[in-house]
């Protein structure tokens, strides 16, 4: 179902009124983790003004260490809903367990499946039984074929609303957190009719690479970007080293909009 053979035209995914795919560009921005309500609402307003059309924030966090902050859980989803009420921005958040699927169906607009769960087949089947848009991140060591098959798991259950997200893969390189595989954009677009967005934040792992990688993604033809932004990156509850400030994000968006216009 994900194969272009069965659907020649680009698919357009409707995220509570925000369209993604073909000529419609997704700009998903927000912190790694949902933090307190006032800060999230203030950030959401700035991001919307700068050109974001969806807000991201993790309420359930897949952390390498069990002692690291694990996310606010359902309280995080509640805060995200306040952000949506105040800004109108649809909400993207990561689901880690089938236990919370009903809460996500009720409270988020896009269910993110994280890199670490790209081949959690029970989770993929469960989101396949909903009709929520799914942002399917590439596993850190997944081939494009495996990634396409994970989309197939979601679609096999009847949910055609899948968006791929390239977020960097593991290589021998240690200068960056992961290696952004920009080639995934044209390869996936050739193989599939589904949109693909690029997350330069988790690929780079360091702030200074985000603008150049975001621009590269646009020029490669990506259908959108996911970028981590925090008011005070130094004090972010997770992934601060790779967060842009709202001002840096706004400046990047001006360039992105020029690139999208000339493309």
| Binding footprint of ligand PEP on the chain (CB under 6 A) | 32, 58, 62, 114-116, 137, 167, 202
Token couple for 251: 């400046």
Residue whose CB is less far from ligand PEP, 55 or 254? 55
Which partner in Mn ion, ligand PEP, none is near 63 (CB below 5 to 8 A by kind)? none
DSSP string, the chain: --BGGG--SPP-EEETTEEEBTTBPEEEEE-SB---HHHHHHHHHHHHHHT-SEEE-BSS---SSTTS----THHHHHHHHHHHHHH---EEEE---GGGHHHHHHH-SEEEEPGGGTT-HHHHHHHHTS-S-EEEEPPTT--HHHHHHHHHHHHHTT---EEEEE--B--S--SSSSB--TTHHHHHHHHBSS-EEE-HHHHH-SGGGHHHHHHHHHHHT-SEEEEEB-SSGGG-SS-GGGPBPHHHHHHHHHHHHHHHHH-
**Residues 234, 240: Cα–Cα separation, whole Å:** 6
Choose the stretch contacting Mn ion; rule: CB under 5 A; options: 31-39, 94-102, 114-122, 155-163: 31-39
Q: How far is the CB of 222 from ligand PEP (least distance, A)?
A: 15
x/- site string to Mn ion, residues 77 to 116, per CB under 5 A?
----------------------------------------
Q: Is 142 left (phi over 0), alpha (psi -120 to 50) or beta?
A: beta
> Interface with Mn ion includes 239 (CB under 5 A)?
yes
Residue 254: φ, ψ to 5°: -60, -45
Residue whose CB is less far from ligand PEP, 115 or 188? 115
Q: How far is the CB of 11 from Mn ion (least distance, A)?
A: 27
Give CA torsion, residues 238, 241, 244, 245, to 10 deg.
80
> Interface with Mn ion includes 32 (CB under 5 A)?
yes
Residue whose CB is less far from ligand PEP, 206 or 258? 206
Residue whose CB is less far from ligand PEP, 62 or 158? 62
Token couple for 202: 């988790």
Choose the stretch contacting Mn ion; rule: CB under 5 A; options: 46-54, 78-86, 128-136, 233-241: 233-241
Choose the stretch contacting Mn ion; rule: CB under 5 A; options: 8-16, 24-32, 135-143, 247-255: 24-32
Residue whose CB is less far from ligand PEP, 132 or 167? 167
Q: How far is the CB of 258 from ligand PEP (least distance, A)?
A: 27
Which partner in Mn ion, ligand PEP, none is near 167 (CB below 5 to 8 A by kind)? ligand PEP
Residue whose CB is less far from Mn ion, 115 or 222? 115
Which partner in Mn ion, ligand PEP, none is near 46 (CB below 5 to 8 A by kind)? none
Residue whose CB is less far from ligand PEP, 132 or 137? 137
> Which residues of the shown chain bind Mn ion in the complex (CB under 5 A)?
32, 239
């Amino acid at each position: 179902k994900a194969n272009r053979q069965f659907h020649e035209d680009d698919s357009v995914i409707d995220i509570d009124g925000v369209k993604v795919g073909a000529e419609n560009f997704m700009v998903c921005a927000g912190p790694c983790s949902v933090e307190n309500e006032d800060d999230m609402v203030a950030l959401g307003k700035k991001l919307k003004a700068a050109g974001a059309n969806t807000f991201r924030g993790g309420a359930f966090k897949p952390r390498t260490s069990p002692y690291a902050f694990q996310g606010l859980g359902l309280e995080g989803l509640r805060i995200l809903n306040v952000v949506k009420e105040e800004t109108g921005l649809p909400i993207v958040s990561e689901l880690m367990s089938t236990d919370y699927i009903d809460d996500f169906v009720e409270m988020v607009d896009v269910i993110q499946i994280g890199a670490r769960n790209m081949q959690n087949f029970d989770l993929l089947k469960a989101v396949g039984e909903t009709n929520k848009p799914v942002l399917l991140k590439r596993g850190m060591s997944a081939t494009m074929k495996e990634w396409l098959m994970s989309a197939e798991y979601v679609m096999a259950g009847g949910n055609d609303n899948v968006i791929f997200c390239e977020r960097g893969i593991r290589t021998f390189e240690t200068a960056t957190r992961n290696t952004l595989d920009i080639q995934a954009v044209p390869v996936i677009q050739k193989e599939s009719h589904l949109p693909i967005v690029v997350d330069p934040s988790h690929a780079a792992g360091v702030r200074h690479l985000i603008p150049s990688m975001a621009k590269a993604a646009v020029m490669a033809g990506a259908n959108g970007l996911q970028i981590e932004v925090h008011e005070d990156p130094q004090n972010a509850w997770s992934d601060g080293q790779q967060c842009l400030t709202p001002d840096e994000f706004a400046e990047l968006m001006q360039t992105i909009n020029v690139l999208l216009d000339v493309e």
